[in-house]
Amino acid sequence: MNCFDDEPSVKNKTNIRNEKVVNRPKSSGKPDRPNDVSKLYADIMSVVQHNGHVTLPGASFSDGFLTNRQVRAIGFLLGVLGLIALLKIANRLI
């Protein structure tokens, strides 16, 4: 036997065939997911499509930043602070 043969003789050639079988039901279009999961999936896919740049939806200021009750509470606190400041000033003048 010569080690430098151009074509080595192989007596038993075996053909190997690879097959991958995936058992998955056919998709009917829209996947069956709850609404909150679908929204999260859509948000993630939009981030992926925009190369990781997150764009937040515009905030609507027509609805108001604070509720009426919060506005009244802030007004009350500012009124109390103003009254305390006026009393301190009046106390110094007397």
pLDDT per residue as tens digits for the range 7-49:
555 566 667 677 776 676 665 556 667 778 888 888 788 777 7
Query: What 3-state class would DSSP assign to 23?
Result: coil
Q: pTM of this prediction?
A: 0.35
How confident is the model over 41-60, as a mean pLDDT? Answer: 72
3-state secondary structure of 53: coil
Q: How far is CA 84 from the centre of its chain?
A: 47
8 A C-beta contact, residue 54 and residue 47: yes
